[in-house]
Each structure stands twice: as structure tokens, then as C-alpha cells.
Structure 1
Amino acid sequence: MIRTEDAQAIAAGRFSDPFAVLGLHEIDGKLSVRCYHPDAERAEVLDAKTGRLIMALQSHDDAPGLFNGIAPRRRKPFAYRLRFGAGEEIWEAQDPYRFGPVLGEIDEYLIGEGAHQQLWRVLGAHLITHEGSEGTHFAVWAPNASRVSVVGAFNNWDGRRAVMRPRGQTGVWELFLPDVGEGAIYKYELLDGSGGLLPLKADPVGFGSEHPPQTASVVRNLYRHEWRDADWMADRLTRHRPDAPVSIYEVHLGSWRRVTDQNNRPLSYQEHAEQLVGYAKDMEFTHIELMPVSEFPFDGSWGYQPVGLFAPTIRHGTPEEFQAFVDACHGAELGLILDWVPGHFPTDSHGLGQFDGTPLYEHADPREGFHQDWSTLIYNYGRREVANYLTANALYWLQEHHVDGLRVDAVASMLYRDYSRNAGEWVPNEHGGRENLEAIAFMQQMNTLTYGADPGIMTIAEESTAFPGVSAPVDAGGLGFGFKWNMGWMNDTLSYVSEDPINRKYHHNKLTFGLLYAFSENFILPISHDEVVHGKGSLLDKMPGDGAAKFANLRAYLGFMWGHPGKKLLFMGCEFAQGREWNHDASLDWHLLEHPDHKGIQTLVRDLNQVYKDIPALYERDARPDGFEWIEEHAAEESIIAWVRKGKEGTPPALVVTNFTPVERPNRRIGVPCAGRWIERLNTDAEQYGGGNRGNLGGVSSDEIAASGRAHSLNLTLPPLSTLIFELQPE
């Protein structure tokens, strides 16, 4: 018999180990079946193979819906189904408590150690066949909960009916639910350590979510897509090295393009696979970078406050459709980078905050666990299970979705305990310093694991301070990122180009200062979404002067950027000089391409990307000082700047010259490191870009006339507000 206190606890939904009572048990040498269904008035046991009646179960006097009985003439465990009845209604169901556990001892050990590199393959919701039955295996980490249940429409959201099995000291709870299939909507219902009912929680490792504002998780199949990118995956190491050309198109999927005649809806992953991929390919970018696609509740966060780290947002389609989008990128020879947010998470009640009634994922002390700027929670990187959760998430996107890189958001906020905090509002590290040693160790581990799993991927740090060694190897004391955003370059050069040209000579150092540290990291030059929001205006808006001058300034600046050491990143809309500030709720202003000036900027960016890829000197030694040589560093009065870029041995050098004034400079002598004919590969003043078509007739041969401290020089025409890129013609 079932003890009265156990029966009442089961009926009240407060019994933490249902497998100890429910299911098939041997009692005094006989086999007993016990089950619980709060809506049933009667229950019977059927043979799972034949459907024949084995026995009717008796109802427990102290717990309606709880049934038990002894199986006649049965000596060995057997497969069975249950048949329930209430009034005239009859229904059948499988008993989840007749199935054994799914997680193995190795999984338990690795989870407990915080070392499970494929954590998503054991936690979350997985479609499996278990002991001959199809269904879904659910597993979740909640070590301080006193009871955890899976709830959904399949059990009327009743937390008493699918109470999970605790797995020892790991803090993991698991349950196989037969007949629950793909598309099932679910959450976890938890009782805290004192038995208090918590808000329903989405699955921390769920692979799918409902459409916002609904917040439940959805059972999804990750393994249906048939990948066709084997050649790309085998070759991508060569595309992500510091000596490869990398030009990134940053995109917010929700606002790149919308279907105006269908209630202004954003495009699906499938539509992006055709339209966005085709556009980025035509524009000669090498990579697309997506602002976060991990599921997030609030559109206004742009994805930077994610709740479902393992779920591609349903706003654009299913995980399978997202994988097809990635495949399409690779088919077009485009890499795909995701913005990844391990720095913080929102306080939404269905999320990770106080997940099991305790600060499980976050720090308990708000001086460490609450981000004042964003009103979000900060991960406890020092807890091994939390660090494992995040590193496994990085591996998940790279392995299961074939993503090529992760750009890690807000690294500076992770590195420093006093980030955006006043004195007394932060907790020093164990040495009394401000560095977040646990976060540093986490990032080093993440980079070690991801590059160890596949050296062909790339990780990128959005890091705005002078923290040393961000892109240095971990074994050399660095953080181990492949690349770092050069925020200093971005701030200085945008400040410079925003000045009226008459004043630029007083700010010339803003152009040159970045070259003092340009080779200290593997840098990416970012003109990102952050520069065209929150009242900052568009990139075109930052340019001084009237309409024509604005476009000329922008053309010169983009040419300067593409000629500068460092990989390139440009936010969507900037490539055709969108006039208004970015709005995440609206499509880009594609109609502007009907105007020649905007079309000219688009053509320029396409040609810059092509020339960049065609001239190895512009990228092969991006992060090496021997790949750069100043020609004109101090021409502040003229606002002229010039340098030579050098590639590997035997590669023709390139000369980049920018005139940041609206004054044409005819017969301007610019020194060159070697004699020969220098081909004008790009001129931002060309007519097809909207310029005045002033230049050097396709190329200039050097003269043995000293200039810029060199024995040979070129006699150049420098158009107003222009950048020229030359390449030495091979002999």
C-alpha cells in the first residue's frame, strides 16, 4: 500500500521523488502498478503489446486520482499502458513512471564537474525513442528545488502529473514523456526549497520558443536539416585567419527589409536566405553578422537581453529554417557571425533569474549580480555549472548550427567589477583589484574550447578599454579571442570626420593616433548599429556640409576605412547612406537607391569590398607593423594622410591617400617606397560614386624626385574630399 502521507503529497504536488512510489514496483515478490491522474475516477492496466486488460486498479482513499493494484500472474517487469475513465469518458495513456532514466553516469559526472562540452545534448527537450516508445526526454538543472515538473497542454499545465526524477548530487531533474512530440509547448513548474511555488520557467536549454509575447518553450528537432556545406566547413580556417580579407555586413534581421503589404512583417529565415544572402554576396562582403538571434522577449532590446540562449528566435522561423539560412550563407561563400550575449540576462519571471528559488545563474550580491545600466542580472562566472552552461552554448551554435563566429557583446562590462559603478557599489576581487578574475577565466575557457573544437571558427570581442591581450593566445596570458573591435579608432575617426573641414587640421591626431596601437591586437574596424541609434543620427548625418558635401565626406571616410589596417564591419543601411537614424521597428529605406547619390555610395562600398579582396597588401599583414609604412603623417594643414600597405613577400604594395578637405590638390607630390607605375585601383571621387571624376587617369609612374622623405614620388591630383587607393604594377 501507498503510505497516506506519500499519497497526500503526490495529490498535492509536493512529492519530490515520484519514481519511488509511482510506476511498476516489486512488493513482497509481486508486481504492483501505481499511477496518478487527478481527472480520473477509475484506471486499468493494459498489455502494451496486445491491448488486453491485465487488471483494474483501486483508488486510494486519501488521494483522489491515485490508483494502485497487484498484477496477477506476473513475475517479471512488463510493458503496459493505462486506461482511465471519468463518467462516460475513456482515454488511454502511457505511464511515464514505467520508464527508466535516460541520463548516464558519465553525463552525471561531467555535469557535476561543470565539464560537459555537449551539455545541450543531455539537458533540454529531446525527441527520442526510449525503451521502445517515442516521446520527449526533458532534463533541467535546478539543484535547490524541492520539486520540478514538466507542464504543458499535454497535461493541462498541471504540475502534479509530470513530476521529474532527481538525479543525485548533480541537481539535474529528468523525465521521459512518451507520446509528447515535436511542437509541444512546455514550461517547468518548480517548488523552491521551502515548498513555495515559483513562476513557470522556460527551459534554459530549450531549442524553441513561442512567439512573443508568449514565453513557453517548444520541443524542436535540431537534426532534420541535411547540411550541404561540407566544402565550406573544411575550408573556413583559411577565411578567418588574421591574414585573410574580412569585410562584415552587420544586420538586424527584424528591420533589414520588411514586407509592407503584409502588415509590415519582417522577413523569414527562408526569405533572408534568398534576399539578404544574395544582397550581401552581390555587395562583395565576406561575412554577415547578425545581431542576437537567441530568443528574447522584448523587441526593443534588439536581442541583447536574451532568455532562450539555445533557441533561434521564432520571429523568423524554426531552428531548421535557421540552419537552412546558415547553409545558404555558406553556399554563397559568406561566413555567418552571431552576436552572443554571455554578459547579462533580463529579469523576466520566466527566465533564469531566481530559477530554483535561489540566485542560481546570477550572483546573490547585487553589487556583483545586478547590472545598473541595463537593469539586468549578471552571470556568476565563478560557478562551474554556470560557466559550463555558457561555454556549451557557444559550442552549440558553432557545432549544431554551423555558425562561423561569435562576436561577444559587452566584454568590458564582464572584465571589470567596477564597470559603471561608483565607489562602494562593487566588490573587489580576491587580490583587492577591479578585474573580474572569474569572468576572465570564463572567456579564456570559452575561447580555448571553441578554437580547440574547430580552429576554423572566429571569436570577436566588443571591448572598449585598453585591457591587454584580448586577441592574444590564452597560453600567452591573453583572453584568446580571434579579433577585437577597435572602438578607439571608431570614436576618434568619427569625431574627426564630424568636424567642419576647416577645423580638421586642429584634430589631425585623431586620424594618426590609432596607428600607435593598430598592431597590438587583431582589430576589426566597426561602424556598427551603436553609432546610428539613440539620437546619434545616421552615418551620413555625421558628415558636415550640405547634401553634396555630406556624400563626398562619407565617400572619403569609407575609402579611408577600407584602406586602414584592420578588418571591416559596416552596419546595414550605411552602405547606401541611409539618411535617418536606424529604427528597429521599420525597414531600411531601400527607396533611397532611386537617388544617384545613395546609389553611388552603394556602388562604392561594393567596389571597396572587391578592391579590398583583390589587393592582398590591404589585408595580409593587417595586424603586423611590417605591413604598414607612413608616407604623410604630419600634413595636418592640408588634412592629407597617406600610407603604404604591404602584404607577404612578393606582394605588390598599395598606397592609400586621403584628402579630407574640399580643396583639390593638383600636382601634389606623394612619396613612394619604390619606383614604378602605380595603378589607381579606386578613387572615391569617381563619377559612378557621385563624385566629380577628378583623378589620375588610371595610374601614375613615379619620378626620381624626393618627397615625403622618399627618393621617388608620384605627382598626383588629389580630388577634394576623396580617398585614392593605388597598387604598384608588377614588373
Structure 2
Amino acid sequence: MKNVTSPKIQPELQRIIDARHHDPFAVLGRHSQDKKVVVRAHLPYAEEVHIAEGNLPLQRIPHTDLFEWQGKPEQVPERYRLIWRDADHHEHIAHDPYCFPPQVPDFDLYLFGEGKHWHAYRFLGAHPHQADGVAGVLFAVWAPSAERVSVVGGFNRWDGRVHPMRVRGGSGVWELFIPNLSPGDLYKFEVRNRHSGAILLKSDPYGQQFELRPSTATIVTKPDTHAWQDAEWLEKRRNADWLHQPMSVYEVHLGSWRRGWEGEFLNYREMAHQLVEYVKELGFSHIELLPITEHPFDASWGYQTSGYYAPTSRFGTPEDFRYFVDYCHQHDIGVILDWVPAHFPKDASGLARFDGEALYEHTDPRKGEHLDWGTLIFNFGRYEVKNFLLSSALFWIEEYHLDGLRVDAVASMLYLDYSRKEGEWIPNKYGGRENLEAIDFMRELNTVVHSEHPGALVIAEESTSWPQVTRPTYLGGLGFSMKWNMGWMNDTLHYIAENPIHRRYHHDKLTFSMLYCFTENFMLPFSHDEVVHGKGSMINKMPGDEWQRFANLRLLYLYMFTHPGKKLLFMGTEFGQGTEWNSATVLDWYVIEYDFHKGMKQLVADLNRLYRDSPELHYYEFEWQGFSWIDCHDADQSILSYLRKKDDDFLVVLVNFTPVPRQGYRIGVPRSGRYTEIFNSDSHFYAGSGVGNGGIDLIAEDHPWMNHPYSITLTVPPLAGLVIKPDPLPEPVLIAAEEEEPLTAELAEAATSEEEVVEEQAAVAPATKTTAAPVRVADAEELAQPE
């Protein structure tokens, strides 16, 4: 073996020493040279180095941390191990990372560069991997403006000189396979910018687990080994006609819903059992989680995301979160994730200027920065950025079996001038204010999700009048499953905040929603946004004394559950929490012991059951045939009445927004027969006054009213709503007879008698008006009883 003693360092070697080489594999590792083999290693903390196979010593290149061996090819295998001893006489042995060929397939790089790699998370990031039978971890990261990228962690003393990566051609992707690493190891990427020389320490954009804040290192995550038990749920979701099924969502911030006795966060597993039990009790069909994607700042509620592929470590591990979702599915509860593709925080360890230059964001702050939020905006026109977000969306649906995504801040994505003054934004290529790249991204997002995962939902939080948000992309729409009805929410809350004596002047705020109600697939939200930033709690938005505030809120919820549109309530609003939501503390659970709050919680549970069990309320929520007005003009008495329908079945809904009870109030109905009050928000069961029509048959009179051929008179409770159901139509008389035989006289007489009975029942006089106690919604086997 020839000893290397030349004092002159070759430029290629100097770039390795200076940690500035874009392809360390060109220098380090095993190389053929003039019928010999050269093995080089750069080990800054080594005192001596040997090749394990043959115990062949490497010689230090003077005044460097480079070691070299030269010899015959047969002396060193292709995949050799290095043994090195440090200054503390600790011995280390591992395969040389620089003796392995590239591991990331060229096809993955091609698809990624085209923005068409929907599963980029499968090769980017850190993945336990085997290369030629050697176990380790494969790292890959996109940093096209980097001069050098290194993997750093406790395994190399966080020193960027030890494990520099190789760049894969013009893709901008850097990769390195490091043997002997395993799940649980901490790491980051050290990035040196090619222009400025600035050195940045970055978390992995594709990291699937992170340290608990305030630490920001990424954790190598083991492959999914969870034994999923939700196949039946997923099959049902895939085949479901969700447009015509009830959907009632409980929006939850996990960090403040409940905590342990000492104020500590609950684990995802603990949360699963407690939350599912509660949600099942109240009858919700889905849970929507405020962002549990990793985020550095608790008070952001998760909306300043740093880990787009990682459930936050505040509540446990990725395996714990898989358990959470699986447990929900096993108990017939869907899980929706609040997902934030509009913007990201400026934290130094995150996506901001990832390789020393604007990479995930726009270079020009007029397109790349949210001034109000202090965050950066994704560059949706860059294929790799679009790929990052599309892959993230599919990741949560595929790897965690989530049932849908609620896309935050869609309006800010649609408009280039969103919350900007003149001169603070750049028009698109046509001179308009529409963000064309973001529009294309959203259409592709929805197309991919719906084609890959039928039944999965993508819900837009969109507050403008942008057309066709929920219409298919092939018809020119954005392709979302649903959008939040922010107009209905704002109008309704403004109306209900008025003193009842003034509501007659604002009647149009209730009726206006029906002019556009079926132009989109709407969800009706009373979300976290309505109970923060000084807006007060839902109960404190209501006017009047304590009784009136709770009566108003009960009425508001009945109006919501009988209005077309899927439903969403934020945690705490279901029992009328008195204080505004504070993410740093848990809900005021103790108030449920008080009658008003207990009644509110029972009302929401019964509304959910009524909604779930009544096709009239949920089947045609997005179509005109499910709704018609009885009377929308009674502004003087602030009363609305309408029908909710499915085919020939219907329910009558009447809501009274004044504290004045109305005796003998007449409304039109479409057919004769008996009607029964099946829900009354003023019931004693809900801590109401008990005014209503419970236990009384309401018989329709042959008295045309409000463009209907029949009418009923009833007692209308104060600040309350009623749901009234007609008796089912009598079954037609079917007579089995031979075709050739004429109807006998006996059968004809029997049929005539039955018709007379039906006519006689329909002609019964209406019941006397009453203030008898109303009834609560009954379960299937429970009879409605008067109090």
C-alpha cells in the first residue's frame, strides 16, 4: 500500500474538507484508479481508521481529517465497513455511506419535477431502508439553491462535515443512505446556500415526527405497523351517498377539550376513548380536529404549520394518532382534519427560505407574504411546491385513514389582493386579481383526492362569493365537496344579537340565505372563529336575561338543524359555555351541572337524533326539492314557517324569534289529517318554559292558508321553535284477484267502507288551542310523552 504524503490538497478534496462539495461520492468511498482501488473517508473525529474486512488501515492525509487507502480491488468488497476510534478511545463500526449507489429511483425524481408525484412522501424525508442487504435510513430533501446539504444529528455530533449528501442531477433533490441508523434517531438538514454561503439548520419538510416543542429536530419514524380494524368503515365510506346522508360535525381543539388532573395534555389514545364516548352520546357523526399537524406555537391553534406530514408530538406518537382515528372509525365516527395549505410560519427551522432563498414561498413579498398574519404564502405555481401540498393531502387520507380535509383560508388563496391595499399586490398575467396558480392547485387537489379516494371529503372555508366552489372541475368549478356557509352564519348571528323588539326590521337576514342556499353544497358552521378574539361565547352573543339568552340559543340551534346544509358546532357551544374559548385552558365542564347548561346539551343531543333519523331534514340538503316556505313574510311577529321534505314526506318547522307566545297561530299545510309536535325547543327537558302542543292532536282543517289547501292552528312558544310531523298517509288497499275475475260485490263493499273511514278521520274538528307541555324527541322505542 502506498502512503499518501503529498502536502498539496487537490481542489476536490479541499471542497470536501470545507464542506462545500455537491457530490461527495465523487471523492469519498471506493473508486477504481489505474487497476487499483482507492478508499477515502472524511471522519473529523477519528484518530485512526481501518477497513473491517481485512483490517486494512487508512492513512490520514496530512493536516486534514481525510483518510485514504490504496490497494488491490479484491482486498476490499463493494460494501465494506469502516472501524474508527475517536480521541476518547471509543470504537465505532459501520458500513461506509459512500460505498452505495443512488437509492432514489430516477422515475420518482421525474414525477416530482413535473409536479405529478402524488406520493412524494414515500421517497422524500427519512425512511428506514435496506440497501444491498444493509439496514439504515435513506434521507432525501429538495434544496435546489444549496451548494451542500448534510444530514446532522446526535449520531454525528450535529456536524455537517460528516454526512454530506449528493445532489441528483438537476432535480434539486439531495439524498444519502446512512447505515446503522434506525427509527427514533433525531436529525436535521444543514444547508449551505450556493450564492451567499449562509449555513442553515432545517427540520425535514417531509418529516413524519418531531420533537416536542420548543425543540425542532425531526425524528426518524418507523414504518406503519398499526393493525387497522376499520375496513368496514372505509368500505362504507367508499360506497356512501354522503350528499344525502346526515352529517353533524363536532369541531375540537384537542389541547383544550380536556386535560389530565395536573393540566397535562392527554395522549391521542386517552383522547380517543373520552372523545368518542362524548360524541356518541351527543349524536355527532364526525369529529373535525383543529390542526394537529406539527406546529411550533401553541397559541396559533395549529394554523401555523411546520410539519405537513407529522401529527403533533404534544399528544403522542404517529402510532398513537393512528389508534385515535381507528378507534373513531370502529365506533362509526368520521375524522376530518383542518389542513392549512394557504400559508406557513417564518420560523428559522421551517420552510421559510429553506435553502437560503425563497423556495416554498414567492420571492416578492407582494405575493409571498401575509402581512396580517405574519406568515408566508406558498408558491403554487412551482411544481415541487404543489407536489409537496398534494402529497401531504393524500398522506393524511392514506396513511391515517382520515375521512376528509377542511381547507383553511381558501379566500386568501383565491385572491392576490386578499387583505392588501393598492400597491401591495401584483396582478396576474391578465391584469386580474385572481390567483391563477392557486386555482389550478385547488382543482388538482380535489380531482386527485376524489379520484383516488371516493367518499373522502374536501371542505372549503371560503368566505367570498366566488362561484362554483363545490361544483365539479369539469364544469368549471373548484371541485370541493362542500364549503362553509359564512354568509348564513354571519347574517344569522347578526340577527339573533338584535333585541327581539327590533328583529322585525332585520327579517331579511333570515330569509336571504334561501336565495343562494342551493348554489353550493353548504355546511352551516358555528366554529371556533365565532368564540374568540373578543367575540364572546355563543351564549353571550344572545340578548336578554339569562332565561332569554338560553332560549335564544336553543332556538338558534333548532333553526340551524332544520335549515338546509350539513352542521358544525365548536366544542363548548353544545352546552352553552359562558366564557370565550381560551386555547390555554380546558372547557368549563362544571357548568353542565346547572339546569340551563344541562338542558342545552340535551337539546343538541336530541337535535342530532332528530336530524339523523329524519330523511326530511337531511336527504335534500343541497337541492330545492327538500325545502319550501310556508310563510316567510311574518316580520311583524318575527316568525318563520317552512317545510323540509323528502319525496311525499315532510316536516313542518315554525320558529318564533320573539319572547311572546302566540295562541291560535294558523299556518298552512299541504295535506289533511293529524299532525303531532315532535320537537319543541321550549320544552322543560331543555330548561324551557314548557309552552307548546305536547300530547295534543293537531288536526288539519279544510281551510286554505298561505297557498296551502289546509291549515292547522297551534300554540307558538316564546323564543322557540317547533317541529311538527303529519301522520303517514294510509296504505293503499291492495286486492289480490285473478286477472280474469271481476271485482266481487263483497270486495267492492269492503273497499268503499275503508274509503269512508279515511274521509271521516280527515274531517275531525281541530283540537282546542292549548299551552300544554311539549314533548322531547323520542328514541325509536320510546313513546313521546307529555310532561
TM interval, short-chain normalised: over 0.9
Report the CA distance between 1:292 and its aligned residue: 0.5
CA contact (8 A) 2:531 2:581 kept: yes
Establish whether residue 68 from structure 1 lines up as the match of residue 63 from structure 2: no
Please list, as runs of the form range in 1=range in 2, the aligned pairs for 1:128-207 lying within 5 A after superposition: 128-194=129-195, 196-207=197-208
Pick closer, same or farther for the CA change 1:71–1:282 going to 2, 3 Å.
farther
CA contact (8 A) 1:4 1:62 kept: no
5+ unaligned residues in a row in structure 2: which ranges?
A: 730-787
Report the CA distance between 1:62 and its aligned residue: 4.1
Tell me what 2:296 maps to.
Answer: 297
CA contact (8 A) 1:239 1:245 kept: no
Tell me what 1:78 maps to.
Answer: 78
Q: Distance in 2 between matches of 1:462 and 1:638?
A: 34
Letter in 2 for 1:70: Q
Partner secondary structure for residue 716 of structure 1: strand
Tell me what 2:41 maps to.
Answer: 35
Letter in 2 for 1:682: F
CA contact (8 A) 1:238 1:244 kept: no
CA contact (8 A) 1:240 1:457 kept: no
Q: Distance in 2 between matches of 1:91 and 1:366?
A: 48
Establish whether residue 700 from structure 1 lines up as the match of residue 669 from structure 2: no
Q: Distance in 2 between matches of 1:376 and 1:564?
A: 37
Establish whether residue 100 from structure 1 lines up as the match of residue 106 from structure 2: no
Tell me what 1:457 maps to.
Answer: 456
Q: Distance in 2 between matches of 1:238 and 1:595?
A: 43
Letter in 2 for 1:730: P
Deviates more, 1:597-606 or 1:103-112: 103-112
Letter in 1 for 2:270: E
CA contact (8 A) 1:412 1:465 kept: yes
Q: Distance in 2 between matches of 1:369 and 1:211?
A: 29
Tell me what 1:21 maps to.
Answer: 27
Tell me what 1:225 maps to.
Answer: 226
Q: Distance in 2 between matches of 1:218 and 1:700?
A: 66
Which of the two has higher C-alpha Rg?
Answer: 2
Tell me what 1:496 maps to.
Answer: 495
Report the CA distance between 1:679 and its aligned residue: 2.9
Report the CA distance between 1:75 and its aligned residue: 6.7
Tell me what 2:660 maps to.
Answer: 663
Report the CA distance between 1:258 and its aligned residue: 1.4
Q: Distance in 2 between matches of 1:675 and 1:125?
A: 69
Partner secondary structure for residue 623 of structure 1: coil
Deviates more, 1:170-179 or 1:521-530: 170-179
Partner secondary structure for residue 277 of structure 1: helix
CA contact (8 A) 1:24 1:77 kept: no
CA contact (8 A) 1:112 1:169 kept: no
CA RMSD of aligned residues (A): 1.4
**Sequence identity, in percent?**
51
Tell me what 1:122 maps to.
Answer: 123
Tell me what 2:362 maps to.
Answer: 363
Please list, as runs of the form range in 1=range in 2, the aligned pairs for 1:552-571 lying within 5 A after superposition: 552-571=551-570
Tell me what 2:112 maps to.
Answer: 111
CA contact (8 A) 1:560 1:723 kept: yes
Partner secondary structure for residue 653 of structure 1: strand
Q: Distance in 1 between matches of 2:553 and 2:86?
A: 74
Tell me what 2:670 maps to.
Answer: 673
Establish whether residue 581 from structure 1 lines up as the match of residue 580 from structure 2: yes
> Which whole-Å deviations, capped at 9, do the CAs of 1:594-645 have from their partners, x for residues lacking one?
1011010000000000000100010111111121100110100111011101
Q: Distance in 1 between matches of 2:390 and 2:582?
A: 32
Report the CA distance between 1:73 and its aligned residue: 6.1
Report the CA distance between 1:566 and its aligned residue: 0.5
Report the CA distance between 1:243 and its aligned residue: 1.2
> Which whole-Å deviations, capped at 9, do the CAs of 1:519-542 have from their partners, x for residues lacking one?
000000000000000000000000
Pick closer, same or farther for the CA change 1:43–1:348 going to 2, 3 Å.
same
CA contact (8 A) 2:79 2:96 kept: no
> Which whole-Å deviations, capped at 9, do the CAs of 1:457-494 have from their partners, x for residues lacking one?
00100000000000000000000000010000000000
Q: Distance in 1 between matches of 2:585 and 2:239?
A: 37
Q: 2:52 aligns with which of 24, 46, 69?
A: 46
Report the CA distance between 1:76 and its aligned residue: 7.4
Tell me what 2:255 maps to.
Answer: 254
Matched residue count? 721
Please list, as runs of the form range in 1=range in 2, the aligned pairs for 1:464-613 lying within 5 A after superposition: 464-613=463-612
CA contact (8 A) 1:22 1:33 kept: yes
> Which whole-Å deviations, capped at 9, do the CAs of 1:506-526 have from their partners, x for residues lacking one?
110011001110000000000
> Which whole-Å deviations, capped at 9, do the CAs of 1:279-331 have from their partners, x for residues lacking one?
11111101000001110001111011101111100000111110110001101
> Which whole-Å deviations, capped at 9, do the CAs of 1:643-677 have from their partners, x for residues lacking one?
10112x34x21111101111111111111122232
Tell me what 1:407 maps to.
Answer: 406
CA contact (8 A) 1:55 1:71 kept: no
Report the CA distance between 1:94 and its aligned residue: 2.5
Tell me what 2:377 maps to.
Answer: 378
Report the CA distance between 1:701 and its aligned residue: 2.6
CA contact (8 A) 1:11 1:38 kept: no
Q: Distance in 1 between matches of 2:604 and 2:289?
A: 19
Partner secondary structure for residue 644 of structure 1: strand
Letter in 2 for 1:700: L
Q: Distance in 1 between matches of 2:241 and 2:139?
A: 37
Q: What is the TM-score with the length of structure 2 in the denominator? A: 0.90
Q: Distance in 1 between matches of 2:21 and 2:147?
A: 8
Q: Distance in 2 between matches of 1:463 and 1:551?
A: 30
Q: Distance in 2 between matches of 1:222 and 1:37?
A: 30
Partner secondary structure for residue 422 of structure 1: coil
Report the CA distance between 1:95 and its aligned residue: 1.3
Report the CA distance between 1:195 and its aligned residue: 5.6
Partner secondary structure for residue 170 of structure 1: coil
Q: Distance in 2 between matches of 1:644 and 1:505?
A: 22
CA contact (8 A) 1:31 1:77 kept: no
CA contact (8 A) 1:240 1:458 kept: no
Q: Distance in 1 between matches of 2:344 and 2:699?
A: 59
Report the CA distance between 1:96 and its aligned residue: 1.0
Report the CA distance between 1:239 and its aligned residue: 4.9
